[in-house]
Structure 1
Amino acid sequence: IFLKDGEVKNVYELSLTVKVPTGMTEADLTRPVVEVRDFETGKLYYEIYTYGEENVVVPIEEEKTSAIQELAKQRVLQAIKKYDSKAEIYFTSKDRVTIKVRNECIPRLIGKEGMNISRIEDELGIHIDVEPKVPTTGREVKYVLEELGNNIVLRFGKGMKGKLVNIYVDEKYLLSGTVGKKNEIRISKSSEVGNELLKALVGKKKIRVLSV
């Protein structure tokens, strides 16, 4: 809570994540980062992390959307409008966007094993993160998580076949998927999502699955 002249001016929330700090691009610079966000809007204001031997607090400046980014945004909208004509899109870096679509649109947009969204990314030359507009709806379901060869497998009870589920790590949305014929979802360890799940397992973070 930030107080000025005896009044509450801002309320912030802190969250710990593992990522490449804003403004850096090399993957090997990934490190634990404390994000300081506005409690109500979720806007990122500061990042706190170790740089060399120092702990630094870095203010995050809001970048103005360039003409190139605006053009890229329109191309992304054009590509996904058949899945959700009212999708929300915003840039998280120069070559990465996050799109928020209706929960029920996510399986078709991502496609089997992520093939559809990968095709769109290749066509547009930009990385796309997909998130649901309403991130925490549904009932929590039990699962068993196993590492099987090159895959991470989430096994569910009977009756889950064909159900859409949302997966969260420490309340942060990770992905949506449809439970397969064997009442399971398989995720490749080499994929970005698989890598995030492995980090969550190592960090003993809470993994929740909600049935939509």
Structure 2
Amino acid sequence: MNGFGRRLRATRAFAAERGWTFAASGKEEGALLDRLRGEPFHLPERAPDAFPYPVLGRHRHRLSDVMRGVYRDRSAIVFAYTREQEILDDGFGRRGRENSRHWIAALLDLPAPVPRVQVTPRTPVPLARPGVTIGDPRVDERFHVDAGDPVWADRALGDLAPVLLDGPARAWRVSGTSILTWTRAPSAPGIPLDQVDAALDRLATIAGRLTA
């Protein structure tokens, strides 16, 4: 409890120093998650014979440590997200328990809508959607790109290659007039405050290139 209280006070002070608002829990989570439709909030449908076995049960979404304010002249939201799943049947006999997954996410508003594009680091596990390539092998080997307009994504991400390849590989998505990044949290979420500015700076740089 003491650790939780210290984290809460530190996050509240961090937001106050920037003139941001802070809420320990997100009351508007439904509208926000619909606005950000896609990973990690909305899981893709799995085939009945997919491996591992599909887990049957309700999903519950919970936002916490929600900070809202202005960052580099753009509206920003930073929050912790928990997806809880009730296990009714996972194919191995487990029932009635909950699996929880935690993420930290940051969001910036865009001045105008751009075509949907999602960029995620490649993993050994192949994804259901094949993705698109942009012709730069450094980017194509490191990232999976899912785009509504492949021609636009090819041009836009080609220009962004130096930014994408600089530093750790990070997931991000443009959805309407928002650009979002997210990362897994290993346990009950607490926002790593020393990483907030770096995440928002990266989003602002990408947003600037996409909307130039």
Q: TM-score range by the shorter chain?
A: under 0.3
Query: Which structure has more helix as a fraction of its residues?
Result: 2
Q: Which protein has greater RCO, CA pairs closer than 8 Å, 6+ apart?
A: 2
What is the TM-score when the length of structure 1 is the normalising length?
A: 0.28
